[in-house]
Every structure is written in structure tokens, then in C-alpha cells.
Structure 1
């Protein structure tokens, strides 16, 4: 196999041989055209000359007087011989009116019939063209001899003068033209060889020294790689036109089949997705950029392609993180439960320490009052939540979030306008997901805003208020807080990029709000954020499924 591969011609060698073959064919064609033109020129020039020579002999008085005499050859032969020597033609022949040769520079023709190129020659018309004479091709002019005396001989056909010039063969023409034709062919061959060599070098340089079989192998491997990996791949040129995309990338970005060669603007890719693909928002090298595209959470990595300092474009890989985001959300629920248990443990430990201290100092009555106060507070919170929220999963979530918020010195309130009935299991889980994300972001914003002020223990109103409303067609979740609010320019970006409310302070915190928006969209709703005089207000709305609506009727 190695020996066979080594005997194969390289791409440069194949191009050189092909170019030389083309040059040889072209040169042969040029030589043939040149010889054909030479033959046409010979016929045109020599044809006029032999015709003029025949006309000169045909009007000779000697020829006219002696042509029909008993022995015309004795008088005409010297005239023909002198004319042959002077003109350099091949043959001169004179025939009488009966078509018999009476005199010729070729004695073998005397007495033989003359072959007329055109029957109208006997009627007084001249003719010239090619005829085969004794096996050789000749350019022949046939001029009639007409009487010039008055009476019956005036204009009468007396005979014919035949002037023949042997046509050169192709080899003779080639030898005659070799003095310049070979020079031209040599120059053209030299230029062709040099041009072919330069072209071969240029193509080899452009193909990075790869041979055709190697290029074909790379193309096959590239196709297999692009369509075999589970991630999406999209490549853009410097003008932001799509030059390559695999099936996964086309599906994740929802691109048409004919997307190759079209720009991002033509494909209607705008906003955050366009910024990441074009590198305008995240820089030339983007790592793990989160983008939401038509219900999918995509993680994108972009790399700029350069060669010899020249920017060739960019390649971006895409991963569908939607399912992973849901798994992370479920994991977050377990983490939230752990935080709840830890917060409750911390709260119970403080309460037990207080009770233990009161017992140690003998304040037994104070212990009773303290325990009664704790019981009333817990009962009041439980009554407030359970009386207004009849869905146990959502109520339990609020109780857990209350303990976590209290640990961070944030008061979690339930609005008096809250009212929620029992929901189907799937909708209840999604409402809990949205509510949990919004409450976590609100608590983070409130506690973070107080810590940013420089004194976490400062007496500032730190609260988060939850309001759940249900009507005949939808469930609405409103979460207000006393935090710093959300910058107006980030009102939509917080959901697109996956920011928490800390985005107002410039920090990225995952994809919690992006997932919240996906859940709302899945239920035909929406989520939005506005700023109030006290802080931020997130409003999420989800439509009720038909089963709930039918049950309500």
C-alpha cells in the first residue's frame, strides 16, 4: 500500500502534466490553423498569378495564328518554354478547339485530351482551381483562346491555355514555415511550462500542501464529525454570513434548510443571540454564554478563526441546556430543602438556648410566656398561609422560604389579597418553581442591597411580599421587594440572559429567571418586571389547563 501511494502523482505534478497536455493540443491546433491559412493564401495568390499568366498567353497573336495550323507545336513550343522559364510555373499546355493538346512543356501530354475544370471554358469563360494531374495536386488556370480577326473568326473559340502550378504538400508547407513556426511553438511551450509550474505552486500553497485524496478525506471526516456530534456548530464569515452549520445547530437555532450563505440579518437573528454569534456583545472569545432561543436554554462558546493575522470568521458551538436547567432546578429544590432544615435548626437552636438560659436563671414564668409567643407566631404564620393558599405544595414552599428569609433578616409577607385554590400536580409544581425563583431573587436583592450599603445589621425595611391571585382562566404571581430595583435597560435582559435581580449591580447569577420565563411560556403566560417606589415588582402569569376550567364550571 505504501509503494502504491508513493507512485501516485502529486497535485502539482498532475496539474503540470494536464497543463502541458493542454498546451500541446493548443499548439497542434494553432499549427494546423496556420498551415490551413498558408494553403488558403497560396491558392489565393498563386491562383491570381497563373490566371494572369494564362490570360497573357491566350491573347498572344502568335498563339492565335498558329493554334489551328497543321503543325502548331513548332511555333508555339518556344513561346511556352520561354514563358515557363520566366514565370517558374510547373506546366504550360495549349489545346485546340477539339480539346487535344497540341503543345506542352510536358511532352507526354501532347495528343492527349485536356481535362476542363468547367465545361463553360469551351464557351469562352476562364476558370482556375485545383486539379489532380498525373497523381499530383496542381493549382490550374484554364483560359480560352478566342479569335480576333474580322469575319467568322471574331470571338470564335480556338482552344484553351492551361497553366499549372504544383501545390506544396503539408510536409513542404511545414518545412517552409518551420523557420518561424517552431520559434513560436518553442516560446509558447516555455511560457506554458512556466505558467503551469507557477499555477501548480499557487494551488499547492492554497491547499496547504494537501493532495486531492487528502482533501477528500478531510471533507468526508468533517461531514462525519459535524453530523455525528451531539452539539450544534455554526460558522460565520467576517460579513456575518453562515458558511457552515450542522443539523443540530440548525435545529437549535430554528434555521431554514437554505441558511448557508445568508446573513444573520436575513435569518432574523437579533438581540442577545446575534451579539454572541457576531462577538459584538461578548467579545471575540465567548465562553459559556447563556442564551434563550424560542423556548430553549442554549450555552454557547464562540471562537474567532484567524490565519496569518487575517480574520477568517468565527465558529460557535451550542449546547441545549434546557433539560439540564430543569434538573438543576430540581437539584435547587433539594438545596432549598437543605437550607430550610439548616435555617430551622439554627432557629430552633437559638430558641432552645433562650429557653435554657431562662430556666437556668430561674425565670420559669418568662419561659412560659416565651413559648406561648413562639407558638402564637408559628400558628399565626401557618394560619395566614393555609387560610389563603389551599395548595399544600405552594403553602409548604412559602413556609420554607419564610424561614430562609428570616435567617437573612428579611421579612416574607403574604398579601391580604392572596387567594389560591388546589391545583393539579403538574401546574402546582410549576407554580412552586416560578414562585421559588422569584422569592429567591427578591430575598437575594433585598439582603444584597443591605449588605452593599456597608452595614448588614442596619435598621432598614427589608421585606418581600408575595401575592397569589387566581381567576377563572389564569394564576398570577406577584413578588414585591424593598431592594434596589432593576435598571430599566435590564428589564428584558434579566430573563433573556438568565440574570437574577443582582444584575442591577452587574453580576450574573445563572438561569433562574430564564427558566421562570420558560415555565410561564409553556403555560401560555409571561413574566415581567417593573420598578415601584419601594423596589422591584415581578409579575408572572400562567393559564389554567382545560381540566381546571371544566372543574370550575
Structure 2
């Protein structure tokens, strides 16, 4: 039969440890009390026996009879009187040769006097502990001198040293009661403390708490998302490796406030919020972060917040590429819809026999198409950007929005990388402008592209309601479109636009005019994006 050893619970271990501490403290108090009692006994009794020995040594009878034959019978009453009156343990008299001539303990008469110091034999005094007849005594040895100062002998008076128990009880009449009371209070306090800690640890044992902490560390540092925890005072209490990397926090950041860590702007607003929040978009150091915040509340008490972060920079790039394919699909759908409408018109005219009208309608369509192509070819020489504007024109027409080019538009052929970034910026701005203008009367969107030796400026105007002044910066940091200015959130198109402009050393801004909103973006061309971004730092 195997007997398993039962392990103590956390409360049991704490109780035993606290009781052990109480016992150690009480033991230390007892030792200190004994030491103090011993020091007091040595000081007080040492002075008393020294004074008694000096008094006896100056007694005329003792000085007169110490050198006479058989002094024991004469001195015995004096010694016993001193013993009785002073309460000492022993009184002994020795001659100048160190031979005991009289003593309260008659068995040692005739023996040699034990000397505490060799100077006693030459007439010097001494006090200290001696072992006499198996008993340890605090003794004082004083020389007996004649009136002429001649050394006649020695008087020794001793008091028996108290036991440890006698010293402990003599230290204070209530010391035992005090120690007992302290033991009871300490034991009760230890039990209450153990119960409180048991409740605070939710009944978990140390091995369970250790396992939970290990699992938490493994989980926090093993997941691909960043995790940031704050207390109610906005101090950082926890952050995993991914969160530290995404927010560029120092290794010693735990325990410091967001302000002390240099967190500000939109990132500060999201992290410092009180309630729950989902899918907040923040552009931080060139990264597109999606953040979800959850408030931690227990028993009605707010403990702080936990925010998770996902890096969507690469995903945003994929969304941009996917948007190009989606735009192509929308273009084909819009053109199919436009061609279907034109074919319906031609079919209707043919069925009614209006063949001359069919010819005129087809010629009008051809002239409109040729005029648009010729104008685009004359002002926008980059084929990728021209194709983009052609596609956006078809989409705008389907939504009853007129897309037009400014007369000041002039763009030469660009490097493929420059053209791709320019198409991203222009496409996002035009899409947002079409969204804002659609639904209005005589809706229009105007695109202006201007180029110099080192940069390109894109200006997109629309006939929409404009952007609220308080959102002129939020539309880029929060990932709103112009529709979002009216209340609806729409992805991260403008956030990506600002990101591309910053990466190329430029900027994007929005203003309002009497007609609507004007978005102006500028970006460098003709050199790597990283170099352009480094130049603007």
C-alpha cells in the first residue's frame, strides 16, 4: 500500500510560517530579557557585594583578630551576621598567605582561597564570577589593611547567580503573561492573515499560481498579436514582445505612464479610453495598427484595460492590390452596363426604323470617346495613371457623377514604382470624392495632376458636402472617407493615402471651399521611397 504524503495548503504554510516567526520573536524577546536581567544583576549585585566586602574589611574586630591564633571562633558571629543581614550566599576571610581562616561554610576553613585575579594576593580588589563548592557565585574580594596600610588578608563575599528561569521571571513580574498574550495574538493574527491571503489568491495553491503564471507568459509571448495592459492611472502593467515592438516601447517600460513613455496623439486616445472599443485603426511609425480595447471590471471596481494590436501594414498592401483587381472588375461591370444601355438605345432606334438617328448616335458616342482619349493622352502621358482615370470615369458615370480633368493637368511618363504609388493615392482620393458627390444634383469630381522635377501634386475637388473642420486630420489618422465625415466609418483608404505620401516624403491635406472638399496630396518621384522618407525626417 502506497501512502501519499499530503502537501500543506497555502493557508497552512502561511500559518506555520507566521507561527514560526512569532515563536522566533518571542524567543528573541526572552533572550534579550535574560541578557538584560543578567546585566542588571551583575551591575547591581556586583556593587552591593563589593560594598559589603569593603565594609567587612574595615571592621576593627576583623582587622584585630585576623592575625591572631584561631580567629574562626571570634569572627564567626560577625560573618554570620553579615550573611543574615545582607542576604548573600557566602562570607569568607583569608589571611595574608591566602589560607581561609574563617567562613560561613566551615568545611572550607583551612583551604586555600580561590583568587579571581593574581593581584588579589598583593592587596588589590576584584569582583566577578567564581565557582565555590560547585556553585557559581558573583563574588567580590577586598584586601584587609592595617592602620599603617599593611596587607593583613582578604575578605570575600559572594551571592549565588540566579538560574535562567529566575532571571526571566525576575525581569518583569508579568513577563510570562505578556509573552503568553503575545503568542495568542500572534497566532490569531497569523490565522486571519492566512485566510485573507487564501481569499485574495482565489483559493489557488502556490503550484497552481506558478503554473498559471507560466502559462500566461507562454501565451502572451507566443501569440502573434500585441497585448498591452494599463491600470486605472494609465500605467503600463503588462506588454508582450509583439506589443513592445509595434509600439516601440523600451524594455523597462512596465510601471511607467503612457505620457512618460512618449505615447501621444491618436495612439494615446485609443489606449487611454475607458470603455470597450473594437477595430480602431491607428497609423504609428509607418505601420497600420488595428486595436481592440476591453475594460477590466471586477465587483464594480475598474482594474484597467487590455488592448490587443494587429499589424495590418502588409494586409493593407494586399488590400490595395486586391482593390486594383476589384476596380478592374467594377470597370468591366460599369462598361458592360454602359454598353448594354447603348445597345438598347440602338436596338430601339432600329426597331422603329430611325436608321439615320442610329448613325448619328453612334457617331456622337465615337466623338465623346475620342475626345476623352485624346485629352487624356495629351495631358496624362503615363499610361497606368491614364487607364486609372479612364476606369474611374466609367464608374463615376454609372453613379451619375461627372469626372473631369483640370485644364492645368500635366503629367509625363513616370517610373513604374512612382506610377503605382501615384495611382494608389489618386485612386483613393477619387473614390472618396465620388462617394461624397454621388446623390447630389449636377454632381462632379475634378482631378488635377501637376508635376515638377522632383514631385507630383494631386488635387481632387468634389461637389459634396465637404469635411467637418474637426475631422480635417482625423480622416487620415482614423481611416475615414469623406462619407465618414457624415457619420459612417469606411476602411482605411485615406490612411493608406497618407502612409504612401509620408513614405515618399510628402503630405496630404483637406480643405473646404464653397463647392465642396479639396484634397491635396504631394509626393516625391524619381528616387527610392525610403530615401525620400529619410530626407523629410
TM range (shorter): over 0.9
Q: TM-score, normalised by structure 2?
A: 0.92
The reply to whether residue 518 of structure 1 matches residue 499 of structure 2 is yes
CA distance in 2, matches of 1:485, 1:315: 36
Pairing 1:80-159 to 2, within 5 Å after superposition: 80-121=79-120, 124-148=123-147, 154-159=148-153
> CA, structure 1 residues 438+3, in 2 after alignment: closer, same or farther (shift >3 Å)?
farther
CA distance in 1, matches of 2:241, 2:184: 51
Task: Tell me the CA shift for residue 464 of structure 1.
Answer: 1.0
1:413 is aligned to 404
CA distance in 2, matches of 1:3, 1:477: 83
2:342 is aligned to 351
CA distance in 2, matches of 1:266, 1:45: 64
Between Structure 1 and Structure 2, how many residues are aligned? 528
The reply to whether residue 197 of structure 1 matches residue 191 of structure 2 is yes
2:516 is aligned to 535
CA distance in 2, matches of 1:319, 1:538: 29
Task: Tell me the CA shift for residue 123 of structure 1.
Answer: 5.4
CA distance in 2, matches of 1:436, 1:220: 49
Task: Tell me the CA shift for residue 424 of structure 1.
Answer: 2.4
CA distance in 1, matches of 2:166, 2:255: 60
> CA, structure 1 residues 219+482, in 2 after alignment: closer, same or farther (shift >3 Å)?
same
Q: TM-score, normalised by structure 1?
A: 0.90
CA distance in 1, matches of 2:261, 2:47: 74
Task: Tell me the CA shift for residue 180 of structure 1.
Answer: 4.2
Q: Check conservation: 1:141, 1:162, Cα contact below 8 A.
A: yes
1:57 is aligned to 56
1:473 is aligned to 454
Task: Tell me the CA shift for residue 87 of structure 1.
Answer: 3.3
Pairing 1:282-297 to 2, within 5 Å after superposition: 284-297=275-288
Match of 2:295 among 304, 310, 324: 304
> CA, structure 1 residues 124+322, in 2 after alignment: closer, same or farther (shift >3 Å)?
same
Match of 1:495 among 476, 479, 494: 476
Task: Tell me the CA shift for residue 267 of structure 1.
Answer: 2.0
1:454 is aligned to none
Deviations 1:224-276 (CA, angstroms, capped at 9, x unpaired): 11110011110111111111111111111122222212211122222222111
Secondary structure in structure 2 of the residue aligned to 1:7? coil
Q: Check conservation: 1:235, 1:245, Cα contact below 8 A.
A: yes
Q: Which shifted more, 135-144 or 396-405? A: 135-144
Question: Over aligned residues, Cα RMSD in angstroms?
Answer: 2.3
Q: Check conservation: 2:37, 2:170, Cα contact below 8 A.
A: no
CA distance in 2, matches of 1:3, 1:284: 54
Task: Tell me the CA shift for residue 420 of structure 1.
Answer: 1.8
CA distance in 2, matches of 1:102, 1:250: 94
CA distance in 1, matches of 2:60, 2:457: 130
> CA, structure 1 residues 134+397, in 2 after alignment: closer, same or farther (shift >3 Å)?
same
Q: Check conservation: 2:224, 2:242, Cα contact below 8 A.
A: yes
CA distance in 1, matches of 2:93, 2:72: 9
The reply to whether residue 251 of structure 1 matches residue 245 of structure 2 is yes
CA distance in 1, matches of 2:168, 2:195: 36
Q: Check conservation: 1:68, 1:96, Cα contact below 8 A.
A: yes
CA distance in 2, matches of 1:400, 1:271: 37
Task: Tell me the CA shift for residue 14 of structure 1.
Answer: 0.9
Q: Check conservation: 1:296, 1:320, Cα contact below 8 A.
A: yes
Q: Check conservation: 2:33, 2:168, Cα contact below 8 A.
A: no
Q: Check conservation: 1:122, 1:157, Cα contact below 8 A.
A: no
